[in-house]
Structure formats: structure tokens, C-alpha cells
């Protein structure tokens, strides 16, 4: 009896030791389904290592389906078994599985299942073909049916002994509570990030989608924001009550979701206002088509539960969420466009003018995308001495950074200049100023300059470094351009005293573009500054550009135009802001 008792105690100790080792993997804090996947992987790995089994896979309930996790394997598993990790897997419907309901989460005892009876598994035949003969199934069920199933692949039926069954059952007793916590945490998270009525994301859920980047678009690609507001929704609520109004909102959410792509993110911000964030819409035509798709999907009549019929119409605003900017800014701009659509009669889209550029008559394709609604072109001419034709182009970099886009921008600049002079350009200096350049823009600026060099057959290009608000990035871009290619630097807003002497010594600029404030009002300080910067230009033989002829009409102390400005050039604006915007809004009928 003593030997038998000792043997039983040893066996019990062995069972407890095994179950303890496996159970340790289940004591982690599980606050989401994603965490549960990780914990289950560790649990299965521990079990197959402990009992000498070959592989393990878990299936978790997701909606009306069960979704598989990845396989885990023992190091001793045959090569043929390891190959099942490369087989494509798919979800299975809960209906197709044996329903095991319980008022609480419980674990059923582990059951040995031969491969011929594993009919629920979508890879049954493939598993059989690689030599799987015996499996072990552990189920966790609740009042809603089967929630979790764990499958082990065994080398033989004998590897599932009575002692291993006891050890596994003890460890598996922790699974129901683990699963319940994961589901509860997931439900609480869903409630906090999703709209209770429509089950779309709420404002917090929309922000959480980009929480890793603090709601900045740092993906390096632009996204598009669609802002929808239901037309005359208040009339529905007033006439039919909030219950019918809620049905309308749920139907609107369903239609928005069905018209969206799987990669798009939808949210209800409140009331009847919805937002869709889309990626991969790289040109105006695709954005316009997407907006039309939303309008078409929504406009069908809706029959409510009381039999009332409601023609659904929506106003839609569209903006660009550019790389390096915050989501809240893009939503605000899309909201503003939505109000423009509503003010124009509703049930239409208004697309931010960011998407519209100056169209080239020789290319009737989609308009080029600019970050600003206009391209500012200024002509430069010398008031004394030899005539000089030159132009200053001020623009922002386009939304798409492909090299062909740089070529398109170069062509658009040329079209605008030709239109301004109404003829061919012969001797030309082109001064280019990029609005608020960032370090990441350097490659794109170089591509543009290369395209312009081809367009203008090697005539001189000048990159304008604006000393007003100069940043480390903008200064470094200028340095890199000088070092990497034959580009000269012109300094704009000269006379501010913002480190301009150092920049003058460093770059030996091709032009000094005087700060307009030097001419804005008579003052002794302005006159002194004007004389000082002109003396610098004269000593270094650097041409001066006065931004506007009217500014030069201011003469300090009532004297004639000083001699030192006799060789100045004026940048006269030939395309007014109004005329450019009028031309822009006519493109693609967006007025």
C-alpha cells in the first residue's frame, strides 16, 4: 500500500506540475481580443511542448463566424506537418458548428477526434494528406454558443493519456474566465469608440484609428475626407418622431458603409453628420467618382417601419488630409465644403479647390492638383538699362509626388507664363518660390527643377529663399540645391534683418527681392534700412527686385527716386488673384 500510495502521490504531483506550467501562460492580463490571441498562442505552445504533441490552432468567435489563429508547432513536428502553416485558411460560420450553449462560460472536457471526423475544419483534407490522423478539441461555450475552440494535432492517440487529460483539463479550467474578460473588455472598448445607434465609429473611435500618430497624417501619403450631412433631417424628426429619425440614421450608416471600400474608415460625429476617411484617391477624377458613388448610394428612398417613405438626400464636402497635417484640420475644411454644398441647394458635393489647378489646353485630361487654389505668377522687368524678361512663380508642392507630377507642374508654370506674355519667351530668368517647404520636399523640388530645365532648354533657374519665416528646413533645401545642381539662390524679403548678411555671404545671391515693408510707410528706419540693403546690393553687384511698382512710388522724405534704385526691377503681377481663381473654378464645372 505504501508503494502504491507513493506512486499515486508522485502521479498527482506530476499532474499538478504539468498543469501549473501550462496554466502560467493564462495568468496574463487580457484586455482585448488581440491580447487573447497572443495568450492562446503561448498556452498552446506550452501544452504541445509539455505533452509531446505536434501542433495547435485556436478558433475565436467574431460576429457570426469563427476566425482561426496562426498555427504553433513543436520543434519535433515532422516537416510535412510544419507545411500546414503555409496553407490558406478561412473563417467558418458558427451555424456550421455544433452549438454548445451555457448560461455561463464553461470549458467542455477535451475530446479525441480522428481526422475523418474533423469535418468542420476547412482544411480537413489537406491535414489528412500531410499525415494528420489524430486531433484533440477543447471548446469554451456560453449562452451565445461556441466562443472558442482549440485544436491540437497529436502524433498518435496514445499521446493523449489519462494523466495528460487531467493536467490539460485543470489548465483549461482557466480559459472561460480568460475568454470572458477579453470579450467584456472588447465590448467596453467598442462602446467607448463606436456610436450606440449606428455602430459606426464615433469621434473618439475615429481618432483612435490614428492614435499611434497622434492624429497626424504621417503615413507619407495623402488621404481624402468626405463629410456628409443629411438634408432636411430635422423635418423628418419633427414630422415622424425620433424613432423614425433613428431608423433613417441607421439606414444612412448602412448605405455609407456599403458604398465604402474595406480600407475606408467611417464614423458618425453626431446628429446626422458622418465622415469617411479614404486612402488611395490620387487624382481629381477618382475623388469625384467616389463622391458621386456616395451621393448615388444615399439618394434612394427609404421605407421606415411605420410605412412612411423618405427620400434621402445628403450634402457632401470633400477635403484633402495631407501628409504632415492633423486630421481635425482636414475635417474642419471638409465641413466648410459641406456647408457650401448645402447653401447651393443640397444633395451635391463641393470639393476643396486644393484639387483644382490651371488647365493646359493642350492636355484636356484631369486638372493638376495643387495645394493652393491659385498659381501666382509675377513678371519682372528692368526700369533702366537693358531689358530683362523674367518671371517669379509662387506655388505649393502638389499633393502627388510622382516624377510625372513634377513634369506636369513644370508644364503648368510654362502655360501660365506664356499666357501672361501672350507670346513666346526668349531671354528668361525664372525665379521659383515654394510655399513653406519642408525637408521632405527636397527631392520633389529637385524633380521640378529638372523638369523646368528641360522645358526652358537650360535657361537660368533661381530658387527663392524667403527670409521671412526662414526655417532650418528651407535653408538646408537651398544649400542642397546649390550643391547638387546648377541653381542660383535669390533672397526674398531682404531688409528684415533676419540673418540676411550671413545668408548673403553664404549664397552670393543672384537677386535681392526687397521686403515690401521698406516701402510701406515713410519712416527714418525704413529709409536707413533701404539705403543699407541697397549699398550691399551695389557693392556685390546683385540685381534688386522691388515687389511692386506701386511700392516704389513711395519716396523717402519726398525726394525723387534715389539713384541707387535706378537699376531696380519691378515684379509686376500680371495675373490677379481674382482672375486666377475665376479660371480655376471653371475647370471641371466646379463653380
**Distance of alpha carbon 143 from alpha carbon 183, whole angstroms:** 13
Measured at the CA of 496, the angle between CA 494 and CA 501, to 5 degrees, comes to 65
pTM greater than the 0.85 cutoff: no
Question: What's the CATH class of domain 376-585?
Answer: alpha beta
What are the two backbone dihedrals, phi and then psi, of residue 498, each rounded to the nearest 5 degrees? -95, 70
- 111, three cell numbers: 475530446
Q: What is the pLDDT of residues 290-343, one digit of tens each?
A: 999 999 999 889 999 999 999 999 999 999 887 667 788 888 888 888 988 888
Q: Is residue 8 predicted with pLDDT exceeding 60? A: no
Q: Is residue 409 predicted with pLDDT exceeding 60? A: yes
pLDDT value at position 281?
Answer: 84
Mean pLDDT of 411-438: 68
Q: If 0-12 CB within 10 Å is exposed, 13-18 middle and 19+ buried, where does residue 2 land?
A: exposed
Question: What's the CATH class of domain 10-187?
Answer: alpha beta
- 461, three cell numbers: 533657374
Best-predicted range by mean pLDDT (10-19, 376-385, 468-477): 468-477
| Residue showing cell 549699398 | 535
Best-predicted range by mean pLDDT (144-148, 491-495, 543-547): 491-495
Burial 149-173 (b: 16+ CB within 10 A, else e): bbbbbbbeeebbeeebbbbbbbbbe
Which DSSP helix (H) or strand (E) runs through 187? Answer: helix 175-193
Q: Is residue 536 predicted with pLDDT exceeding 90? A: no
Q: What is the pLDDT of residues 348-407, one digit of tens each?
A: 998 876 544 333 333 333 333 333 334 566 767 665 545 456 667 776 665 555 556 666
Mean pLDDT of 404-432: 65
Q: Where are the domains of the chain?
A: 10-187, 203-355, 376-585
Mean pLDDT estimate for the chain: 77
- Which has more pLDDT, 60 or 521? 60
CB–CB of 377/417 below 8 Å? yes
**Distance of alpha carbon 394 from alpha carbon 36, whole angstroms:** 55
Q: What is the pLDDT of residues 538-557, one digit of tens each?
A: 888 888 887 765 555 544 44
CB atoms within 10 A of CB 290: 22
Least confident of 68-72, 155-159, 481-485: 481-485
- Which has more pLDDT, 26 or 152? 152
pLDDT value at position 227?
Answer: 95
Please, which residues bridge with residue 378 across strands? 392, 573
Residue 88 pLDDT class (50, 70, 90 cuts): confident
Nearest to 380 by CA among 560, 518, 514: 514
Please, which residues bridge with residue 321 across strands? 223
Q: Do domains 10-187 and 376-585 have the same CATH topology?
A: no
CB–CB of 482/449 below 8 Å? no
DSSP 492-509: EEETS-SSHHHHHHHH--
Which superfamily does CATH assign the domain made up of 203-355 to?
Reverse transcriptase/Diguanylate cyclase domain (3.30.70.270)
Mean pLDDT of 99-108: 63
Q: Residue 19: which residues within 8 A CB-CB, separation 6 or more?
A: 166, 167, 168, 170, 171
CB–CB of 272/197 below 8 Å? no
- 269, three cell numbers: 460625429
C-alpha 542, offset from chain centre? 45
Q: Is residue 229 predicted with pLDDT exceeding 50? A: yes
3-class SS shares of the chain: helix, strand, coil, % to 5: 45, 20, 35
- Which has more pLDDT, 68 or 483? 68
CB atoms within 10 A of CB 354: 21
pLDDT value at position 262?
Answer: 87
**Distance of alpha carbon 194 from alpha carbon 201, whole angstroms:** 4
CB–CB of 276/226 below 8 Å? yes
Label the pairing between strands 111-114 and 134-142: antiparallel
CB–CB of 328/215 below 8 Å? yes
Q: How many CA atoms lie within 13 A of 14 on its CB side?
A: 12
Amino acid at each position: 500500500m505504501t508503494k502504491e500510495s507513493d506512486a499515486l502521490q508522485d502521479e498527482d504531483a506530476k499532474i499538478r506540475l504539468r498543469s501549473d506550467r501550462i496554466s502560467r501562460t493564462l495568468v496574463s492580463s487580457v484586455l482585448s481580443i488581440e491580447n487573447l490571441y497572443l495568450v492562446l498562442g503561448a498556452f498552446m505552445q506550452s501544452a504541445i511542448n509539455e505533452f509531446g504533441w505536434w501542433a495547435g490552432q485556436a478558433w475565436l468567435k467574431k460576429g457570426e463566424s469563427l476566425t482561426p489563429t496562426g498555427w504553433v508547432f513543436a520543434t519535433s513536428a515532422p516537416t510535412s506537418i510544419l507545411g500546414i502553416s503555409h496553407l490558406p485558411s478561412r473563417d467558418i460560420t458558427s451555424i456550421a458548428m455544433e452549438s454548445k450553449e451555457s448560461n455561463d462560460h464553461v470549458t467542455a472536457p477535451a475530446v479525441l477526434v480522428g481526422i475523418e471526423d474533423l469535418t468542420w475544419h476547412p482544411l480537413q483534407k489537406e491535414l489528412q494528406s500531410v499525415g494528420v490522423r489524430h486531433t484533440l478539441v477543447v471548446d469554451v461555450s456560453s449562452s451565445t454558443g461556441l466562443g472558442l475552440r482549440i485544436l491540437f494535432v497529436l502524433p498518435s492517440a496514445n499521446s493523449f493519456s489519462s494523466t495528460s487529460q487531467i493536467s490539460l483539463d485543470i489548465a483549461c479550467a482557466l480559459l472561460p474566465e480568460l475568454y470572458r474578460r477579453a470579450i467584456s473588455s472588447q465590448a467596453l472598448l467598442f462602446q467607448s469608440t463606436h456610436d450606440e445607434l449606428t455602430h459606426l465609429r464615433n469621434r473618439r473611435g475615429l481618432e483612435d484609428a490614428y492614435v499611434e500618430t497622434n492624429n497626424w497624417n504621417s503615413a507619407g501619403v495623402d488621404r481624402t475626407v468626405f463629410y456628409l450631412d443629411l438634408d432636411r433631417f430635422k423635418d423628418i424628426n419633427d414630422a415622424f418622431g425620433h424613432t423614425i429619425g433613428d431608423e433613417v440614421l441607421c439606414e444612412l450608416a448602412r448605405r455609407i458603409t456599403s458604398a465604402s471600400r474595406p480600407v475606408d474608415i467611417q464614423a458618425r460625429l453626431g446628429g446626422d453628420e458622418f465622415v469617411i476617411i479614404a486612402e488611395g484617391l490620387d487624382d481629381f477624377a477618382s475623388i469625384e467618382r467616389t463622391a458621386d458613388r456616395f451621393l448615388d448610394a444615399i439618394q434612394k428612398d427609404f421605407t421606415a417601419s411605420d410605412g412612411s417613405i423618405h427620400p434621402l438626400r445628403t450634402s457632401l464636402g470633400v477635403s484633402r488630409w495631407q501628409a504632415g497635417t492633423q486630421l481635425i484640420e482636414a475635417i474642419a475644411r471638409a465641413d466648410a465644403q459641406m456647408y457650401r454644398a448645402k447653401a447651393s441647394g443640397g444633395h451635391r458635393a463641393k470639393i476643396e479647390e486644393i484639387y483644382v489647378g490651371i488647365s493646359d489646353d493642350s492636355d484636356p485630361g484631369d486638372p493638376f492638383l495643387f495645394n493652393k487654389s491659385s498659381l501666382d505668377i509675377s513678371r519682372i522687368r528692368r526700369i533702366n538699362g537693358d531689358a530683362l524678361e523674367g518671371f517669379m512663380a509662387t506655388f505649393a508642392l502638389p499633393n502627388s509626388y510622382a516624377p510625372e507630377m513634377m513634369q506636369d507642374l513644370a508644364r503648368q508654370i510654362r502655360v501660365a507664363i506664356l499666357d501672361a506674355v501672350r507670346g513666346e519667351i526668349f531671354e528668361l530668368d525664372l525665379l521659383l518660390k515654394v510655399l513653406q517647404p519642408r525637408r521632405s520636399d527636397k527631392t520633389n523640388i529637385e524633380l521640378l527643377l529638372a523638369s523646368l530645365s528641360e522645358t526652358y532648354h537650360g535657361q537660368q533657374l533661381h530658387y527663392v529663399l524667403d527670409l521671412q519665416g526662414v526655417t532650418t528646413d528651407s535653408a538646408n533645401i537651398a544649400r542642397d540645391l546649390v550643391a547638387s545642381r546648377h541653381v542660383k539662390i535669390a533672397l526674398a524679403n531682404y531688409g528684415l534683418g533676419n540673418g540676411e548678411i550671413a545668408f548673403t555671404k553664404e549664397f552670393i545671391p543672384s537677386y535681392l527681392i526687397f521686403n515690401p515693408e521698406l516701402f510701406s510707410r515713410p519712416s527714418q528706419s525704413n529709409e536707413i534700412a533701404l539705403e543699407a540693403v541697397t549699398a550691399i546690393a551695389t557693392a556685390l553687384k546683385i540685381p534688386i527686385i522691388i515687389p511692386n511698382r506701386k511700392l516704389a512710388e513711395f519716396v523717402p522724405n519726398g525726394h525723387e527716386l534715389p539713384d541707387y534704385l535706378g537699376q531696380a526691377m519691378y515684379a509686376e503681377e500680371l495675373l490677379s488673384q481674382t482672375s486666377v481663381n475665376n479660371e480655376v473654378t471653371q475647370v471641371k464645372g466646379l463653380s
